[in-house]
Structure 1
Amino acid sequence: MTLDTVKHANETPDVDQPWAELGLKQDEYERIRTILGRRPTGAELAMYSVMWSEHCSYKSSKVHLRQFGDKAPENDALLVGIGENAGVVDVGQGYAVTFKVESHNHPSYIEPYQGAATGVGGIVRDILAMGARPVAVMDPLRFGAADHPDTKRVLPGVVAGIGGYGNCLGLPNIGGEVVFDPCYQGNPLVNALCVGVMKHEDIHLAKASGAGNKVILYGARTGGDGIGGVSVLASETFDDSKPTKRPAVQVGDPFQEKLLIECTLEIFREDLVDGIQDLGGAGLSCATSELASAGSGGMRVELDHVPLRDATLSPEEILMSESQERMCAIVEPGKVDRFLEICEKWDVIATVIGEVTDGERLEIFWHGEQIVDVPPRTVAHEGPVYERPYARPEWQDALQADDANKLARPGTAEELRAQVLKVISSPNQASKSWITDQYDRFVQGNTVLSQPEDSGMVRIDEDTNLGVAVATDGNGRYAKLDPYTGAQLALAESYRNVAATGARPLAISNCLNFGSPEDPAVMWQFAEATRGLADGCLALGTPVTGGNVSLYNQTGETAIHPTPVVAVLGVIDDVDRRTPMAFADEGHLLYLLGDTKEELGGSAWSQVIHDHLGGLPPAVDLDREKLLGEILIAASRDGMIDAAHDLSDGGLIQALVESCLRGGKGARIVVPDAVDPFVLLFSESAGRAVVAVPRSEELRFTDMCGARGLPATRIGVVDGEELDIQGEFVIPLAELRAAHEATIPSLLV
């Protein structure tokens, strides 16, 4: 077979090319020809196809994502924002923290273990590429119905992949979520987050500058696993009625990644790189084009210098391979020898594959023949931008009119008790310890809070106890009812979770999981959710530092619920002042903060008791969320509260059960006069938390709440070994624990 060189492409303009099979539209293919002034070579076509895929180019979402920049709040803490491998914020004392959440949804359905494992590996390398040492990971997960046979196939593999890869890296898994809903059947959501720490001066960016600087590929050899990988898998709807692109999922090696991490950190310490990029989605196509595009010149690459696991790979396959545990660095000539020495010390393969040029082209050669000659920005940053049509779906009005507040409620105290037990033992509300116990939460010794606490928290300075807290949240049921409000509720809950532990929220990352952008109803959901999140971040003063968009999460015509997952990162000056969720001290007074209204739309109660989704989600008051956060942070810092737990899915009763079981202490709850016990227990009104206040601090705490205008209602006391809703029912802790902890193992073991 004749090598398809640039010269050959010029001489054979009419050769048929498989642009459609590679996921390109005809107009996109014609645009490539216009850019190049000729037909593309096979290698160029491969590069454009993966880099212009939905997963890599964000071509359907760019027009909406611009709001995150246009509406960005002023925030002095933001050091690196959208556009780099991950965002970076200043947390004080000369430290910077980088964090990001991404998706590995489609690969995890096809190959659960490797799909999830390489999702962890990829996000860790994003954080590493910023110059930071990764210090923790988190995993927000969504699966189909808990009792569906395929969930039993997918979930254990995903959990094992996350635990196996993260545990081998020595990174604590400090939080996340596990949600079950039939809408995720066939399209599980496997989102992965990583947090890294560095000093301000250690920040590195993905750019190739300085003519003559060398391009070094280091890490694992390139293989045939993951050719097209996530870049293709995440850019097309799964449809069982027709053939679907399902290339091999990447195969991860956490031990190789651990060597790569330590090798890279030593390279950073010796200041040996001018630019760096990890190889994730789109592999070498992405790394070379993005580095060149963000730099000041061009790049020349000798592709046959790439170390291979499979010598039969074609140039196109090498460029498209998403083999894991690889990085690409830009190194000055005088530093190359030392760079290679460090790689050899860590048993990491490193090869000079090219150099930065003073031109404006990305040129790639194969055995002396030129196979790529492109303007790098057209590959990496100037792909298609679609303004997809969107329209409010016809069924939205009927869905919202189907008011959950009108559903039949328990008529007796016995029925109320039975429904409490049914809700807290349902798959979404039950303990997830069977899952989280498979993750190492305490490796490295700096974890101070982890699952099932409101947010994970790690110490980043052992001398001063400076720490950061991170929470992830998202409720697809709320977003289905109202995507604008649903996105803000996800932001508010994550913000509240961070504040509940005593940390001050600083910034967010997000993973926007939606169905097909070619469906106007889905695009309306996306547009509304993005608008809601941008408006919410502006109101709360928390800029979006980066994130991920995952589209085509649907099988055939059935899309997932719109699921914007929001990660909030906060800083705490002294982790010893953190607030846990456990009721641990008898006699402490329980206060409910915020207003409880009759808000049951999208609630756990409506789902579990009535299998119902309808009405409106809880209302959002971001000023109240901000005030609640300030009160929780001040109370934590000044020793006024010993426990705090936000109220969200499942309402007050869920928070009480979790805090009682966490601390091994019961509670006596007095229902306030003129309050419906059912509404008090099951409403999911936002902007609320329950706190445990030592008697000695009650006056100081209530005075603070009163002075700031935050409703604070005394509802009970920590006491005994049972949960006593006085005048209604009593449930011993042993019965609560049995109901709460038995569900997940019974479904999955």
Structure 2
Amino acid sequence: MSLADSDRELVVSELEREPTPAEAALFENLWSEHCAYRSSRPLLSAFDSEGEQVVIGPGDDAAVVALPESDADGDGKTYITMGIESHNHPSYVDPFDGAATGVGGIVRDTLSMGAYPIALADSLYFGEFDREHSRYLLDGVVEGISHYGNCIGVPTVAGSVDFHPDYEGNPLVNVACIGLTNEERLVTAEAQEPGNKLVLVGNATGRDGLGGASFASEDLAEDAETEDRPAVQVGDPYAEKLLIEANEVLIEEGLIESARDLGAAGLGGASSELVAKGGLGAHIELERVHQREPNMSALEILLAESQERMCYEVDPENVDRVREIADRFDLGCSVIGDVTDGNYVCTFDDGDGPETVVDVDAHFLGEGAPMNDLPHEEPAEPEVDRPDVDIEEAFDAVVSSPNTASKRWVYRQYDHEVGVRTSVGPGDDAAIVAIREASAGSRAAETSSGEETGIGLAISAGAAPNWTDVAPYEGARAIALENATNVAAKGATPLAAVDCLNGGNPEKPDVYGGFRGIVDGLAEMCESLSAPVVGGNVSLYNDSATGPIPPTPTLALVGTKDGYDAPPMSVEPGGELLLVGDLGFETDGAGLGGSEYLARFGGSDRFPSLPENPSEIVETLATVADDESTLAVHDVSHGGLAVALAEMVSDDAGLEISIPESAGGPAATLFHEQPARALIQTDSSETVRDAFDGIAPVVSLGRATDGDALELSVGDRTITRNAATIGSLRETLETELE
């Protein structure tokens, strides 16, 4: 670790002296891109983070959003927390521990707000699936997420998996967590009062994860898998489970004034940020920290990113009770210092008497990093070069592509039913978890009696690297619209979102131009959808010897609905199948750009145009999905109409589909990926047409049958595949990985 010369000059000027080694290391980590957002913060003002539902927006460990009132919940004070985190570089170096500790970190962010974690969503991005190294990373990451999530008893209910050649040297692991709390339980990461104690609860501090924040702010080198392994934290999910339950008791008994999870930059990051947010200082005695390794230095204690640790601000009168609760759950507990109205001061006594190793203004430490003013280049418009491929060959290739094939191999390793809230699990357009009145405040209330509120929380998470690779701005707009369409297909309307903005080295103008594009595109569409972006994470320098990643704006969006039931994705015999949205496009319109079709067969094209009234389409789709005449609903997106139709067929029902060919030809008809489209099976087509009149086109495609085959006619071409064949095509991951 080393502090950049320009940063050192600023520090020296502020301190009026040279920084100590511990101070220099602390500034280097907290002023890193990972912590200070030096290249991205100037852009983030584009996001609308306000709304009547927003209780706490960006800047805390997690955002807090109020759920709509229901008939049974008159006070309307049930809150959810939303957070998202990246653990990209650690997951390349050590896929199991890197991914596992990403889960642990976002769960502790939830705990620090006084919330109980109820759902996880993971969005994963790897190099091409046929590469052995990509499969190694996929296997390790999925195992790490499943091990940690299953052990702590938090269900993984949603997410995405994408493959793209530009992730080969730098995979992405983005994990979101939803928590549940209420007005009385709410805690923030803002220190409250001088004289309160700082108490460290959880695992003992070791030397793992040293310099993790700095490591996350650099391009990955070719030898990163061996040289950077000490920067990767090692998780203990069983300790995390104890910490979850201990935190619950601490919150229920009202013992916590403020809290911060120990993540990037370890104790130094958590404690300094805690007091800085309150405009206060601290005096910390580092030797008091409970440690698991001998002869640790002040710098190691200060910056180690050992997992499963929380920093609490506690009234002195409550310290003994906090100790008792920590002992009850077999967790370490150290009273490490005091909140003050002065500087952030850390002392260390190695046996020869205390020595001051840090003495700085907490606000300067947290907010003093200068922002970067970087040049950027606008992405070039792609040329139109559409391949001419046999339509049946194209259908089989796109349906069986690792990007569009079933992800059952991944999510079946996750326990998505623990907590008995999951109404719709992974594998559908969006997950739905139940929010009940009896459990609005705590995990302990789940088994108590009481009338249910009947609020269903729909969750969708993911990005689309093919889209943002070809068109960062329009692709990011499409990602937001796609996630909103997913929750609408389950009958829910958007409530709020958090994002994880992943990019390459921002010092490269073309890379920074793409990153600017995804920020602006995501911000614009979320505002159009009335879905405030209430928090998030930025991960830059995702660059390696193989080049930069595609700009990747992962969005985790939630919506709400009355009740927990939702229309299925698969059709049942009978009923008409309607397409809401454009069937194809004219020759002078947008095209196949970003599609899986082009990813399989080469070529290039413009990105498809987006509808001008996205909010109206989403709201109307949610209403129609909940109508009693609706039998099934499925979003049309990745892989286009061909994949959506294939996914609706089952052993119990097939489809007879006849589609007039669009001006762009059969490939355009079946494989363009314009978002905000949906397939609706209904026994009252008039209801659907009336609802979308003047909002979106509605086209009749055919009917569901009591067979198990998809008979798909496009112009004068016909494709016939039975459910078994489609199932075999879609089992790409199972076939290759087992």
Shorter-chain TM band: over 0.9
State the alpha-carbon separation in 2 of the partners of residues 686 and 144 from structure 1.
24
Contact 2:2/2:25 (CA < 8 Å) preserved in 1? no
> Contact 1:238–1:555 at 8 Å: present in 2 too?
yes
Task: Say yes or no: does 1:352 pair with 2:335.
Answer: yes
Map of 1:87 onto structure 2: 63
Structure 2 portions without partners, runs of 5+: 69-75, 438-451, 586-590
> For the residues of structure 2 that align with 1:677 and 1:147, how far apart are their CA atoms?
28
- Aligned counterparts of 1:548 and 1:193: Cα–Cα separation in 2: 10
1:235 CA drift (Å): 0.7
Letter of the 1:431 counterpart: S
**2 CA distance for matches of 1:657 and 1:94?**
42
Once residues 73 and 597 of structure 1 are traced to their aligned partners in structure 2, the CA distance between those partners, rounded to angstroms, is 35
Secondary structure at the aligned position of 1:201 is classed as coil
SS in 2 for 1:202: coil
Conserved 8 A contact 1:289-1:362: no
What's the offset of the Cα at 1:638?
3.0
Tell me what 1:12 maps to. Answer: none
- Report the equivalent of 1:19: none
Partner of 2:629: 640
Matches within 5 A, 1:8-407: 22-68=1-47, 72=48, 75-92=51-68, 93-229=76-212, 231-240=213-222, 247-366=230-349, 367-392=353-378, 396-397=380-381, 400-401=382-383, 403-404=384-385, 406-407=386-387
CA distance in 1, matches of 2:305, 2:327: 23
Are the counterparts in 2 of residues 98 and 127 from structure 1 also a CA contact under 8 Å? yes
1:486-635 alignment runs, 5 A limit: 486-556=475-545, 558-576=547-565, 578-583=566-571, 585-598=572-585, 599-608=591-600, 610-612=601-603, 614-621=604-611, 623=613, 625-635=614-624
CA separation in 1, counterparts of 2:535 and 2:407? 28
Mapped pair 1:671 → 2:698: no
Do residues 421 (structure 1) and 421 (structure 2) align? no
Aligned to 1:6: none
* Structure 1: runs of 5 or more not aligned: 1-21, 411-415
Alignment correspondent of 2:388: 408
Counterpart of 1:369, as a letter, is E
1:439 is matched with: 414
Q: Which moved more, 1:377-386 or 1:262-271?
A: 377-386
Q: Classify the secondary structure of the residue corresponding to 1:515.
A: coil
Give, in angstroms, the shift of residue 223 of structure 1: 0.5
Q: Does 1:704 align with 2:691?
A: yes
CA distance in 2, matches of 1:537, 1:686: 14
Could you tell me which of 461, 483, 487 is aligned with 2:436?
A: 461
Where 1:359 maps in the other structure, the secondary structure is: coil
- In 2: Cα distance, 1:377 partner to 1:607 partner: 48
CA contact (8 A) 2:662 2:668 kept: no
TM-superposed deviation, 1:353: 0.3
**Superposition deviation, residue 439 in structure 1:** 0.7
Identity of aligned residues (%): 39
CA distance in 1, matches of 2:435, 2:347: 42
Distance in 2 between residues matched to 1:645 and 1:586, nearest whole Å: 16
Distance in 2, Cα, partners of 1:552 & 1:746: 34
Note if contact 1:388-1:517 (Cα within 8 Å) is conserved in structure 2. Answer: yes
Q: TM-score, normalised by structure 2?
A: 0.92
- After superposition, the C-alpha distances for 1:76-130 in whole angstroms (9 at most, x for unaligned) are 1111101111111111342111112211000000001000000000011111111
1:372, CA displacement in angstroms? 0.8
Q: Secondary structure at the match of 2:622?
A: helix
- Secondary structure of the residue aligned to 1:545 is strand
Distance 1:499 1:740, change over 3 A: same
In structure 1, what is the Cα distance between the partners aligned to 2:304 and 2:102?
15
Taking a change above 3 Å as real, the CA distance of residues 96 and 179 of structure 1, as seen in their structure-2 partners, is same
Letter in 2 for 1:39: E
What is the CA deviation profile of residues 218-258 of structure 1, one whole-angstrom value per residue up to 9, with x for unaligned ones? Answer: 000000111112x1221111232899655331010001000
Q: Which amino acid letter does the alignment assign opposite residue 371 of structure 2?
A: V
In the other structure, the counterpart of 2:710 is 723
3-state SS of paired residue (1:744):
helix
Tell me the CA shift for residue 640 of structure 1. 3.1
Provide the C-alpha distance between the structure 1 equivalents of 2:453 and 2:531, rounded to a whole number of angstroms: 25
- Residue 621 of structure 1 deviates from its aligned partner by 2.5
**Matched residue of 1:478: which SS?**
helix
C-alpha offsets along residues 674-693 of structure 1, whole Å, 9 cap, x if unaligned? 67443322121222111111
Mapped to 1, the partners of 2:567 and 2:183 lie a distance apart of 28
2:71 aligned residue: none
Q: Is the 8 A contact 1:502 1:634 kept in 2?
A: yes
Partner letter of residue 168 of structure 1?
C
CA contact 1:23–1:232 (8 Å) conserved in 2 = no
How far has the Cα of 1:670 moved from its partner? 1.6
- Separation (CA, whole Å) in 2 of partners of 1:476 and 1:145: 12
- State how many pairs are aligned: 703
Please tell me the residue identity of whatever aligns with 2:394.
Q
